[in-house]
């Protein structure tokens, strides 16, 4: 299994023992590994430091299994919420002192209460979900077959993937892959993706590359392109189109092209 990616957005805290408070932090955990979170201290080290006085020194921990992850709440007074940002308000409440609560969501936001106006939260991208081989149903069981690239076509990361592939699908020439601002603008009219920020889009791209498609390519930065990360995105688009993970019929998932979008399409040769 590919494990879990934990992402703490910039401004929420820092990793114990190195990263300053306020920097974004990304942790990658393999099955059997544990990451503790909280305010931390020299005597109570944590892997994910949440810099808020209302959060315990050791607030909880994430434990990764083969096919999901578990959340332990060390607080004696506060419940934590685990939201499914792609599930139309779906969430779990993990009560105080709950040990090893299994989290079924593929993409989660863990929310801890604070005394401020904004709760502290971090994101967790779960292991790939496994699906039965439909051709093996009704036959004697041997070694189970899993999908090489387990993609949920209803997930936000898949919408980002379709937006990345759209220029190549509409014009088979080697047009440039979209930048992060272009993806944000392209998805602005989508009901569930309209509020995506540039940081969120970048997180979904990292998740696609490192967990879903398992691409190890390095990013390069071009001056004047808004820090566009070319190598990784090129590999994502190339793999998705070669294996048919994104096809022309998936373009219907995107909002209708605006006049500006139609202009770009005509410039591409259509």
| pLDDT tens per residue, range 198-210 | 988 998 998 898 8
**CATH topology (fold) of 4-125:** Tumour Suppressor Smad4 (2.60.200)
Q: What is the pLDDT of residues 166-216, one digit of tens each?
A: 998 887 667 789 999 999 999 998 888 888 899 889 989 988 988 888 886
Q: Kindly tell me if the per-residue pLDDT of 263 is higher than 70.
A: no
Tokens (6 digits) for 70 = 């578990």
pLDDT band for position 267 (50/70/90)?
Answer: very low
Determine how many CB atoms are found less than 10 A away from the CB of residue 67: 14
Residue 143 to residues 98, 146, 197, 239, Cα–Cα distance (Å): 35, 10, 42, 27
Angstrom distances, CA of residue 251 to CA of 118, 159, 169, 178, 232: 36, 9, 8, 15, 22
* pLDDT band, very low/low/confident/very high, at 69 (cuts 50, 70, 90): very high
Token pair 């139309």: residue: 88
- Round to whole Å and give the CA distance between 259 and 222: 27
Distance CA 51, CA 54 (A): 9
Nearest Cα neighbor of 112 from 163, 75, 63, 141 is 75
Residue given tokens 């006085």 in the structure block: 53
Reported as a single tens digit per residue, the pLDDT across 96-134 is 999 999 998 888 999 998 877 777 899 998 866 666 665
- In order of 15, 37, 98, 128, 160, the CA distances from 7 in angstroms are 11, 12, 22, 17, 18
User: What are the residue ranges of CATH 2.60.200.20 in the chain?
Assistant: 4-125
* Across 222-238, average pLDDT: 66
* Predicted pLDDT at 87: 65
């Amino acid at each position: 299994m590919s494990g879990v990616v934990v992402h703490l957005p910039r401004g929420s805290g820092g990793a114990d023992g190195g990263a300053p408070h306020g920097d974004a932090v990304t942790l990658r955990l393999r099955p059997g590994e544990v990451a503790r979170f909280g305010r931390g201290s020299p005597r109570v080290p944590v892997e994910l430091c949440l810099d808020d006085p209302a959060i315990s020194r050791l607030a909880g921990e994430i434990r990764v299994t083969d096919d999901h992850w578990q959340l332990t709440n060390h607080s004696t007074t506060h419940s934590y919420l685990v939201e499914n940002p792609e599930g139309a308000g779906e969430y779990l409440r993990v009560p105080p002192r709950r040990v090893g609560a299994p989290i079924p969501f593929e993409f989660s936001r863990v929310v801890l209460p604070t005394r401020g106006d904004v709760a502290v939260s971090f994101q967790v991208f779960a292991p790939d979900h496994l699906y039965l081989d439909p051709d093996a149903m009704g036959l004697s069981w041997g070694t189970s077959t899993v999908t090489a690239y387990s993609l949920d076509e209803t997930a936000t990361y898949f919408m980002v993937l379709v937006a990345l592939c759209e220029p190549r699908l509409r014009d088979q020439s080697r047009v440039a892959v979209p930048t992060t601002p272009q993806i944000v603008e392209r998805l602005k009219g989508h009901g569930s993706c309209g509020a995506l920020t540039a940081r969120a889009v970048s997180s979904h791209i990292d998740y696609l590359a490192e967990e879903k498609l398992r691409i190890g390519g390095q990013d390069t930065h071009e001056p004047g392109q808004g820090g566009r990360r070319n190598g990784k995105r090129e590999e994502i688009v190339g793999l998705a189109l070669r294996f048919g993970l994104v096809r022309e019929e998936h373009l219907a998932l995107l909002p209708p092209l605006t006049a500006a979008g139609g202009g770009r399409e005509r410039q591409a040769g259509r």
